Structure 1
Amino acid sequence: MKALVKTAQGPGHVELIDVLEPSCGDRDVKIEVKFTGICGTDLHVLHDTFKNYPPVILGHEFSGVIAETGAGVRDVSVGDRVAVNPSTAVTCGKCDYCRQGYYMFCSIRRGMGHGVNGAFTKYAVVRDDQVYKLPDDVSLEEAALAEPLACAVQAVEELTDIHLGDTVLLSGPGPIGTLCLLLLVAKGCKVIVAGTTQDRLRLDMAMQLGAALTVDVLQENLQEVIQRETDGRGVDVAMECAGVEASVAACLQAVKRRGRYVQVGILGKEIRLAFDTILYKQLQVVGSLAHSMQTWSRTLQLLRQRRLPLLQTVTHTIPLSQWRDGFDICEMKRGLKVLLTYDE
């Protein structure tokens, strides 16, 4: 079968090559992959700016149909449609973090798509506890968004109090930022989405998905807009989803005294920061790293309830053989969520 593989360390070294079909262990399930989303992490692995362990198949945001089960599997069956938590591929299961469901902080953790083989291929094998059976009315396209949706759910719902009627600045209208937007709109928040001129398509989509207004920070003065929209108070909550130094500074400046700041974007480098702003404004500051077991339970509830227009965030579905086009769309911000499908 074909697979998109990071073949060696260093920038590049990503190729579509032939690999052996994986086999099932006793507590494993083999999934025929139907849709896999391109994530920023995949781009980082391509450029070697995110830790990876080649040779490794990329891709971790995926859904599919169970094609085979190990002898010890009891809770799912061949033919079941499933979403997958890719982040628990390797954990110790014994440390305090694992026992409490906070697997992201396990010292030996490796996730699919960079630490172990992922889903940009035809078949993926995972443990049976990583899969979540889907209701019949949840599409496999929506299920492929379960993992990034879980990232947004933790950021919006679980780490700080965001209330009906709050004004929220969301800086960075990428895929995770847009999923955060859907949740904030569903909560009844007034959301101001900030981006750059390159984000024009995504800012337009944000308006269609319920943003109160959008701001191109290269064309407008963001702080003047914030002051006008909040009667001079500042926003109740700032969510930084871009992972850019200027965006961090703008969010800290925009949030009101005793407000809340959520860091969602990964900067990937040291930055200069007016740290006393946190002190003088007495801000509540939290970072949001991926998700937890609790998050996945909540995310599956959201999928079942079908209250979020998830499919509106999917702008492209592309054959795996055209993966370079999909990666380029993401890097150049010519779309939002791009899904790849297997083709021979």
Structure 2
Amino acid sequence: MAKMKSAVMLAPGRIVLEDVERPEVDDDHVIVQTAGIGVCGSNLHWWRGSGTATAYWPFPIRGGGGHEYGGVVVETGKNIRRVQPGDRVAIDLFHSASCGQCEYCAAGAFSHCAAAGQFVTPGFTEYLKLPEKGLHVLPDGIEPHLGSLIEPAATPVAALRRLGMRGGERVVVIGAGVLGLAAAGAAKALGAEKVVITAKYDHQAALAPRFGIDAVVRSGEDAVGERLLEEVGGGGADIVVETVGGNAPTLALAADVVRHRGTVIPLGLWDEPVPVDSWKSAFKEINYLFCLAYGQCGLKTDYRFTIDLMASGRLPLEALVTHELPLERIADAFDVAANKNSGSVKVVVRP
């Protein structure tokens, strides 16, 4: 059988390439040649050796944990009807792996399907074998490697769609990485009246105007909570989206700046369990909306909704890409993504 290159993360800070068998097409699957694979913030929890992350998914991690894909269909089975060779696609792995029969699939919550929950991501690799149901054909104007940006953006889009934004909301986004900038841009596209974001680094703050963000508060400032309340006005934010996680006390900050009966959406992943101020949460009657991933909301999947926003120019995800590295430099890609002093926002690996 033909071989291809695929990553394996052996330990924190150590990822290498290995030769594995290239998948072969069958009647019910397609082969996608990957054009771009994003280094996700969740990958960096393993890269840094987070105890919580490694307990959930121990080393060695075949594929290295990659799951943000854009690519080109190169082969199709005889039962495939919706895509054809040459199609440029973004890939929803949860939908691809879902059973299509359970109550969660019927509700469009593909990430909660037992089959999808047992799925192991193919990772940073040259070719993928997939059913067609999780493939989303990209419109003209979106290059195949940029299809990898749909996955990270689709989660904040999904959260805001589940919340049911009506327009006119005041929104605070904590953190100006990929999730934060995507969340802020999506909130604006969905009708938010005002969006304020916190940014730690100059290069993050510089991207804010591209996403329609009204004000930036630097996270290193004194009294960040007070500055956010001053900028967002109205007695606090209707919606606070937390995207930092790690070991930051940002969930407490979110509770401080959300208005009474407002909603906090925690999207960051913390290295260890974090406390919630139950007294403040009860007094303000804060709604907490956790969102693992994307699915289907109404007649359109979150993936397709995000693609449409990007294609329309209302969510310029391409602006997030600061570094592109070949698969042969996978370790460098992780180092750059983990070190924000490098100027990185989104690092895309190009097989």
| Same fold, judged at TM 0.5 (above) | yes
Amino acid at match of 2:93: P
* Superposition deviation, residue 340 in structure 1: 0.8
Alpha-carbon distance in 2 for matches of 1:99, 1:164: 28
Name the CA distance, whole Å, in 2 between partners of 1:272 and 1:110.
26
| Residues 116 and 235 of structure 1, relative CA distance in 2, 3 Å threshold | closer
Counterpart for residue 347 of structure 2: 338
Change (3 A) 1:318 1:142: same
Amino acid at match of 1:77: Q
Distance 1:160 1:110, change over 3 A: closer
Q: Superposition RMSD on alpha carbons, in Å?
A: 2.3
Instruction: Judge conservation of contact 2:98–2:115 (CA < 8 Å) in 1.
Output: yes
Query: Pick from 131, 134, 152: which aligns with 1:130?
Result: 134
What residue identity is the alignment partner of 1:337? K
User: Is the contact between residue 323 and residue 346 of structure 2 (CA under 8 Å) also seen in structure 1?
Assistant: yes
- Aligned partner of 1:236: which letter? D
- What residue is the counterpart of 2:270 in the other structure? 267
C-alpha displacement at 1:101, in angstroms? Answer: 1.4
Structure 1 residue runs of 4 or more that deviate by more than 4 Å after TM superposition = none
After the TM superposition, which residues 1-344 of structure 1 pair with which residues of structure 2 at under 5 Å, given as runs? 1-6=4-9, 11-12=12-13, 14-46=15-47, 47=49, 49=53, 51-52=56-57, 54=60, 56-58=62-64, 59-110=66-117, 115-118=120-123, 120-156=124-160, 158-186=161-189, 187-196=191-200, 199-231=201-233, 233-243=235-245, 244-293=247-296, 294-333=301-340, 334-342=343-351
What is the CA distance between 1:159 and its match in structure 2? 2.2
- 2:36–2:348 Cα contact (<8 Å) kept: yes
Q: 1:40–1:313: structure 2 CA closer, same or farther, 3 Å change rule?
A: same
- The amino acid across from 1:117 in the alignment is P
> Partner of 2:207: helix, strand, or coil?
helix
C-alpha distance in 1 between matches for 2:61 and 2:140: 36
- The answer (yes or no) to whether the contact 1:38–1:326 under 8 Å persists in 2 is yes
Amino acid at match of 1:281: K
| 2:153 maps to amino acid | L
> Equivalents in 1 of 2:318, 2:61: separation in Å?
32
Asked whether the equivalents of residues 28 and 73 of structure 1 are also in contact (C-alpha less than 8 Å), the reply is yes
Q: Which amino acid aligns with 2:86?
A: G
C-alpha displacement of 1:301: 2.9
Determine the C-alpha separation between the residues in 1 that align with 2:195 and 2:310.
22
Decide whether the 8 Å contact of 1:207 with 1:214 is kept in 2: no
**Does the aligned pair in 1 maintain the 2:327–2:350 contact within 8 Å?**
yes
Deviation at 1:97, TM superposition (A): 0.8
Distance 1:94 1:36 in 2: 29
What's the CA shift for 1:274? 1.0
Q: Could you state the TM-score of these two structures normalised by the residue count of structure 2? A: 0.87
1:153 Cα deviation after fit: 0.9
Shift of 1:71: 2.2
SS at match of 1:159: helix
Query: What is the TM-score when the length of structure 1 is the normalising length?
Result: 0.88
Identity of aligned residues (%): 28
Partner Cα distance (2:176, 2:233) in 1: 24
Runs of 5+ unmatched residues, structure 2 = none
Q: After superposition, what is the alpha-carbon deviation per residue over 1:51-72, rounded to whole angstroms, capped at 9, x for unaligned? A: 3375521321111111111222
* 1:225-268 deviation digits (Å, cap 9, x = unpaired): 13323457122221111115511001101111122211111224
Distance in 2 (CA, whole Å) between partners of 1:248 and 1:237 is 13
For 2:97 and 2:178, the matched residues in 1 are separated by 26
- Number of aligned residue pairs: 334
